[in-house]
Amino acid sequence: MTSVALLHRITDYANRADPYPLYAELRKTPVVQDEAGPYVVSTYWEIKELLHDPRISSDARNLSPDAPRGPAQEEDPNLPPTFLRLDPPEHDRLRGLANRPFGPPHTPRRVHDMRSELGEIVSGLIDGFRDREGGDGIDLVDTFAYPFPVTVICRLLGVPREDEAHFHQWADTIAASLDPVSAEDREARAETTRQARSDLALYLAGLIEERRKSPRDDMLSAMAAGHGPDGQLSPVEMISTAALLLIAGHETTVNLITNGMLTLLRNPDVLKRLRDDPDLAVPLVEELLRYEPPVQLLPQRTTLTDIEIGGTVIPKGASLWLVLASGNRDPQRFPDPDRFIPNRPDNQHLGLGSGIHSCFGAPLARLEAQLALTELVRRLDNPRLLEDPPVYRQNAVLRGPRHLNIAFDGLK
């Protein structure tokens, strides 16, 4: 493939429903520079190597001044960058402090203890399909795949239910700003994004203050109270971390659940296997993260020095696009990569990243998807797609169907 307009082809909406043939073409040249500047990396081992290389930075301030600007530029100047966009030692300090109220070793039970609450949310949402049985069907995104993780992340953090609606709006606006496809109209949307960020920050500041005064059993309260031997998040760090979790918890799991149901409905034999054996959900969700990863690529890395990889020297300060979804289909790593094999062995996919930035919310994301898919196939009688391929979201980075219209004969 020539490098001409490579980024354009990746972000081109025409390739959204099935980007995989394009990725197969890309992998013929593991590292290639696009005419717009960024180096696109598409093979498994090269991506993996770069994700573990300390000479690769996630901090946009290390981009050379003439490198094309990425979406990171649109962060709120009043808030410090989140740890997603920082390198060690700042990254490690902030991630460690954020992890204290979330996971082991300090809070090993947080996600586990949410299991029954997650189950109740799932059941409640599926019960809500009842009045649509046998009719025109439902849009699984609006009725289930979106509200489920949104409700969960709000509960986890401690956002009151009546405020959840505001979050949809803010999170949608901020997530759309991560989409490099709209680079041309970046200026136009910059103001809307800034407004959403600042509204969200203001709201979170108030809520954190409330939780400081009267703590509850949620992450915001724990963050606000947290004095530990390893220090404490400052007030602005708390706001920016909470905002990161909220956005990351909104815009990714929805696509994993939707891609999951789409894949199951396209593979009825697998759907039946899951219905007969709910334990299959664990490896099946891993295979989904490989086969249809909700985060298709990481467009935000840069080189701290010249780096030789895949026969190419990438100069210091260059912008990198790591195409995780392409690495996941690399035949050098995964036998028969275009087949969905629910119990695929040795499935070290890149769907949740790798290295120091690997997904912070992974245990929650996995559990949500496992519960959601198991319950959907158990309760929906004869579910079927009404539209294939479905209509996709514009976003090329956070890729997934905007709607998934399905019909079913009844509810169990």
- Judged by CB under 6 A, the residue of 84, 118, 121, 371 near ligand HEM is 84
Q: Could you tell me which stretch among 9-17, 130-138, 190-198, 250-258 binds ligand HEM (CB under 6 A)?
A: 250-258
- In the complex, the smallest distance separating the C-beta of residue 250 from ligand HEM, rounded to whole angstroms, is 8
Phi (first) and psi of residue 365, to 5 degrees: -60, -45
- Judged by CB under 6 A, the residue of 321, 360, 392, 408 near ligand HEM is 360
DSSP annotation string for 118-156:
HHHHHHHHHHTTGGGTTTT-EEHIIIIITHHHHHHHHHH
Using rule CB under 6 A, residue 60 touches ligand HEM? no
Residues 262-301 that bind ligand HEM (CB under 6 A): 293-295, 298
Using rule CB under 6 A, residue 223 touches ligand HEM? no
Asked if 233 and 98 count as a contact pair (C-beta separation under 8 A), the reply is yes
Using rule CB under 6 A, residue 196 touches ligand HEM? no
What span, in angstroms and rounded, lies between the C-alpha atoms of 101 and 403? 34
Let me know the angle formed at the C-alpha of 89 by 84 and 92, rounded to the nearest 5 degrees.
Answer: 50
* Nearer residue to ligand HEM within complex by CB, 137 or 157: 157
* Nearer residue to ligand HEM within complex by CB, 252 or 326: 252
Contacts 24+ apart (CB under 8 A), 233-240: 233/94, 233/97, 233/98, 235/205, 235/208, 236/78, 236/79, 236/80, 237/80, 237/94, 237/97, 238/204, 238/208, 239/79, 239/201, 239/204, 239/205, 239/208, 240/79, 240/80, 240/81, 240/82, 240/201
Q: Could you tell me which stretch among 66-74, 123-131, 136-144, 353-361 binds ligand HEM (CB under 6 A)?
A: 353-361
- In the complex, the smallest distance separating the C-beta of residue 191 from ligand HEM, rounded to whole angstroms, is 26
Q: Could you tell me which stretch among 180-188, 260-268, 352-360, 404-412 binds ligand HEM (CB under 6 A)?
A: 352-360
Using rule CB under 6 A, residue 353 touches ligand HEM? yes
Whose tokens are 């149901």? That residue is 261
- In the complex, the smallest distance separating the C-beta of residue 285 from ligand HEM, rounded to whole angstroms, is 9
What span, in angstroms and rounded, lies between the C-alpha atoms of 219 and 241? 11
| Residue 306: closest CA among 297, 295, 294, 318 | 318
* Nearer residue to ligand HEM within complex by CB, 271 or 285: 285
Establish whether the linkage from the previous residue to 88 is cis, with ω within 30° of 0. no
Using rule CB under 6 A, residue 148 touches ligand HEM? no
- Judged by CB under 6 A, the residue of 27, 48, 95, 393 near ligand HEM is 95
- In the complex, the smallest distance separating the C-beta of residue 136 from ligand HEM, rounded to whole angstroms, is 29
- In the complex, the smallest distance separating the C-beta of residue 94 from ligand HEM, rounded to whole angstroms, is 8
- In the complex, the smallest distance separating the C-beta of residue 187 from ligand HEM, rounded to whole angstroms, is 25
What kind and span of H or E run contains 208?
A: helix 186-213
For 95, the token pair is 């991630």
Residues 40-59 that bind ligand HEM (CB under 6 A): 58
- Judged by CB under 6 A, the residue of 140, 204, 365, 396 near ligand HEM is 365
What does each C-alpha distance from 78 to 75, 81, 84, 377, 411 come to in angstroms? 9, 9, 17, 45, 49
Query: Which spans of this chain sit near ligand HEM (rule: CB under 6 A)?
Result: 58, 83-84, 95, 244-245, 248-249, 252-253, 256, 293-295, 298, 351-353, 357, 359-361, 364-365
